[in-house]
């Protein structure tokens, strides 16, 4: 049952990355590339009917984490307390930026909330990339000092950064050069993803410019991915051991690079949705590759005193996991019905939705 719920949790997080990811990307595009009012309205129209539903995947993932892996929930929500509070406030400002902009038709008012929406989206993309970097790198479980664990084995706490800015230091920070690298990859990836969604859902004049932006950013993304793979050896001496032991896992890197390769053809796509399909493949493939590389760990330990947290030593009792399966089936059916209705109602181009106009 532990493996089943782990797959469910990762699947839900993957859905969140894809769905709310294009919201973040749209916000970044809104911040840097939308200069005209009609372009700004096109972007908010493209995500308006979807963004709040997309955020539910994050809440649902937290619920599954609490239910199925309570030790991991307790450990991560205490250890990452500071960045989690920052993410919460960024989510709030992104939401109110969308909702309050149209309440008063004044250029200063609109500019303030445009910046709130765009900067929050940018920082959220950065922070979620940094969060993934922390999971890959691991943390000092038990806060070991001089070979002695000063706290219980699953406890840790991280400041925003340490004095050395190094991912190999004894006392780690949330942000170091490795996690920041993954954060930048997150920003570039979601900018591409959001731009593809805008192209898919609107006929905005901005779309031709966005195709050029995607094409250029894809070279940046390719370079960053190659660099991240090279420096991964600094964090994990044998980063591909799971793929060597279980060859079918290579399907995930193949999906990742298929998505990345496809995006180089963005200028030649005949259908507007093709770019979004390829950026989705890259996101899901990259996320699955990362998860598979550290399995069965869910939070590696950077010391030799306390063991890493795995899906087996952080899971709830098997009885609770089994009972929860019945409720999961009901919830899954309701979610499928909701999303089918939502995407049928709002299928096609969204230019005329007028989201946020009051």
Global pTM reads 0.92
Question: What is the rounded average pLDDT of the residues 268-284?
Answer: 92
Please tell me the distance from the alpha carbon of residue 133 to that of residue 121, in angstroms, as a whole number: 19
Alpha-carbon torsion angle 8, 10, 14, 19, nearest 10: 50
Rounded to the nearest integer, the mean pLDDT of the chain is 89
8 A C-beta contact, residue 303 and residue 145: no
Structure tokens given for 207: 């779309």
Query: In this predicted structure, what is the pLDDT of residue 269?
Result: 87
Please tell me the distance from the alpha carbon of residue 325 to that of residue 331, in angstroms, as a whole number: 10
Q: What are the DSSP calls for 41-61, one per residue?
A: HHHHHHHTTTHHHHHHHHHHH
Which pLDDT band holds residue 277 (cuts at 50, 70, 90)?
A: very high
Please tell me the distance from the alpha carbon of residue 54 to that of residue 267, in angstroms, as a whole number: 28
Residue-wise pLDDT tens digits, 64-114: 999 999 999 999 998 898 889 999 999 998 998 888 887 878 888 888 898
Question: What is the rounded average pLDDT of the residues 148-177?
Answer: 86
Please tell me the distance from the alpha carbon of residue 346 to that of residue 354, in angstroms, as a whole number: 13
- Residue 285 confidence (pLDDT) above 60: yes
Please tell me the distance from the alpha carbon of residue 37 to that of residue 39, in angstroms, as a whole number: 5
Q: Domains of the chain: which residue ranges?
A: 2-345
Which pLDDT band holds residue 343 (cuts at 50, 70, 90)?
A: confident
Please tell me the distance from the alpha carbon of residue 220 to that of residue 224, in angstroms, as a whole number: 6
- Residue 358 confidence (pLDDT) above 60: no
Query: In this predicted structure, what is the pLDDT of residue 108?
Result: 86
Residue-wise pLDDT tens digits, 236-267: 878 888 999 999 999 999 999 999 999 999 88
Question: What is the rounded average pLDDT of the residues 108-134?
Answer: 92
How many residues are present in the chain? 358
Helix residue ranges per DSSP H, 138-206: 177-201
The larger pLDDT score, comparing residue 339 to residue 220, is at 220
- Residue 352 confidence (pLDDT) above 80: no
Please tell me the distance from the alpha carbon of residue 136 to that of residue 71, in angstroms, as a whole number: 18
- Residue 356 confidence (pLDDT) above 70: no
8 A C-beta contact, residue 350 and residue 201: yes
E-strand stretches of the chain: 144-145, 148-149, 297-299, 309-310
Question: What is the rounded average pLDDT of the residues 323-334?
Answer: 87
- Return the number of other C-beta atoms located less than 10 Å from residue 118's C-beta: 22
Query: In this predicted structure, what is the pLDDT of residue 240?
Result: 86
């Amino acid at each position: 049952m532990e493996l089943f719920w782990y797959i469910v949790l990762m699947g839900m997080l993957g859905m969140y990355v894809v769905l709310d990811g294009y919201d973040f990307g749209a916000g970044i595009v809104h911040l840097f590339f939308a200069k005209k009012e009609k372009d700004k309205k096109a972007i908010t129209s493209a995500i308006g009917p979807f963004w709040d539903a997309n955020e539910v995947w994050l809440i649902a993932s937290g619920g599954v984490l609490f239910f199925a892996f309570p030790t991991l929930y307790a450990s991560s929500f205490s250890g990452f307390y500071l960045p989690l509070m920052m993410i919460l406030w960024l989510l709030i400002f992104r939401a109110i930026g969308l909702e309050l902009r149209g309440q008063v038709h004044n250029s200063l008012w609109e500019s303030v909330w445009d910046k709130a929406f765009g900067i929050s989206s940018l920082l959220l993309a950065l922070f979620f990339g940094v969060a993934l970097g922390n999971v890959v790198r691991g943390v000092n479980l038990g806060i070991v000092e001089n070979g002695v664990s000063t706290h219980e084995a699953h406890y840790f706490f991280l400041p925003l950064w340490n004095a050395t800015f190094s991912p190999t230091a004894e006392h780690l920070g949330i942000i170091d050069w490795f996690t920041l690298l993954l954060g930048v990859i997150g920003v570039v990836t979601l900018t591409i993803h959001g731009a593809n969604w805008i192209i898919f859902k609107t006929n905005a004049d901005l779309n031709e410019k966005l195709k050029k932006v995607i094409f250029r950013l894809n070279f940046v993304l390719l370079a960053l991915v190659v660099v991240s793979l090279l420096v991964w050896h600094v964090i994990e001496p044998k980063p591909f051991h799971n793929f060597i032991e279980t060859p079918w896992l290579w399907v995930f890197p193949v999906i990742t690079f298929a998505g990345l390769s496809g995006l180089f053809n963005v200028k030649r796509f005949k259908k507007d949705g093709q770019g979004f399909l390829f950026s989705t493949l890259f996101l899901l493939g990259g996320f699955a590759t990362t998860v598979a590389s550290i399995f069965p760990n869910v939070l590696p330990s950077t010391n030799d005193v306390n063991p890493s947290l795995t899906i087996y030593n952080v899971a709830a009792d098997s009885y609770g996991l089994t009972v929860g399966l019945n409720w999961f089936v009901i919830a899954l059916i309701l979610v499928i019905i909701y999303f089918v209705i939502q995407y049928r109602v709002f299928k096609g181009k969204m230019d005329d939705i007028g989201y946020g106009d009051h």
